[in-house]
Amino acid sequence: MTYEEYRSYDAVGLAELVARGEVSPAELLDAAIARADRVDGRLNAIVRRMDDLARRQTADTLSGPFAGVPFLLKDLSQDYAGVPTGSGSRSLQRHSASRHSVVVQRWLDAGLVIFGKTATSEFGTKAVTEPKATGVTRNPWNLAHTPGGSSGGAAAAVAAGIVPMAGASDGGGSIRIPAACCGIFGLKPGRGLVPSGPDRAEALSGAATDGVVSRTVRDTAAMLDVLTRTPDLGGPYLPAVPDTPYAELARRTPPRLRIGFTTRSPLGTPVDAEAVTAVEQAAALLDKLGHDVEPADPGIDGVALARDFMTMWSAQTAATIDQIKEFTGARDREFEVDNRLLAAAARGLRAADYAMSRERWNIHTRALAAFHERFDLLLTPTLARPPVRVGELATPPLLRLGGELLLRLRLTGIATKTKLWNDQILANLAPVPFTQLANITGRPAMSVPLHRTASGLPLGVQFVGGLGSEPTLLALATQLEAEHPWAQDEPAL
């Protein structure tokens, strides 16, 4: 199979070829590996190759809805037994997982052929993918720019044609941000729908979930059926899964939807004209398709939400670092300074402060629910600006040195109480201020690749739905995909 033939099919299409006997899983794997060998030296999307394991898979009889389709895991939380889950950290590169995570087992049961793991920022804490452990990952549409994060390697691999779909996860936008940067589709499922086991009940207090990034909507819909086919009996939820498969619901024409849109950053920070244009063009397309679209603000205190999000995020970072130290004996120098500072900030919190912050999630969730009483969906930019240049969001060397000094002198507790610290936290979220809302509230949300900047960079728009709105989101995305096709767009690598 030539690359051109391979690239012309999505994952559902490749699985159909295998089912009809027109191509073998080994041939598809050869095509995927050849493409990776050709382009990944420029992208650094795949940080761990598993070619031998994949070839052994193709030697067996494969079954399932995606039997024989090449696939990549994200190197964060998606554990494959016997293979390290590096999590973008120098501290974990040599420690192999003892068992498959639930989502990985479901992907294997679906017949996917897993031949590698993709790059992520350390512990997924950044919206770019530039970890010290594995190096910079680049955007296939312009190698000087980021593919986003933290699922940047997954999005880069899909956009570059290595695989039609790849494993991803989203704790603050990490499916939607890379999808928006790379011109592909990304759905963050709602809380509790996709299992997080067996090593945790739910990730980031329920803010995070696994999923995929893909070139086509139907691939994501079919994958959601794979991931939700049975409940995780050890998990905290019994999710309400529709009787009709998501793949079928995605093909249905959506009803006339009420969609409220805003281009105002919830942090009050600037929003680039390209991001505004992306939303305005999407609103015009929705109006053309017969939906009711109007400006509307969800009425949420975005600064308070950002602070509550970062309280949870820093506490989880501290817990993660402590767990790794206990498990591996890792030293401080094996963790990035930025994450050590986040952890130090968390250690300065009182337990009561954390509990109060977590309780405020209810305020944000009910405010969004009130919005969804008036509108079926909220439309925003996915990013406040086009994909940033590589290194643009890196902590400046002097600030890194200052951080190291504060850590050594144990003065971080004082520093994290200052206005400068809080301003820096908000500045780091300014390029991606729209995505954390869906994580805090547990609502499904998607990034749809409807816009290109004047320089040719992708820039997606986000839709946030209410509880259980995955079928509505998928049906709308299918309608938009038919009206504004994107799957065959390909970067010149």
Active-site amino acid positions? 74, 150, 174
DSSP H helices, 329-418, are 337-347, 351-359, 361-374, 397-409, 412-415
Q: What is the DSSP string of 1-25?
A: --HHHHHTS-HHHHHHHHHTTSS-H
Query: Whose structure tokens read 């999505």?
Result: 10
Query: How far is the C-alpha of 184 from the C-alpha of 156, rounded, in Å?
Result: 9
Q: Give the H/E segment covering residue 307.
A: helix 302-328
- The DSSP element (H or E) to which 186 belongs, if any, is strand 185-188
Q: Rounded to whole angstroms, how far apart are CA atoms 176 and 169?
A: 9
- Phi/psi-derived region of residue 410, left when phi > 0, alpha when psi is between -120 and 50, beta in every other case: left
Tokens of 431: 């390029």
CA 125/CA 157 separation, integer angstroms: 20
- DSSP secondary structure string for all residues of 222-234: HHHHHHTSS--TT
Question: Is 389 strand, coil or helix?
Answer: strand
Alpha-carbon distance of 151 to 146, in angstroms, equals: 11
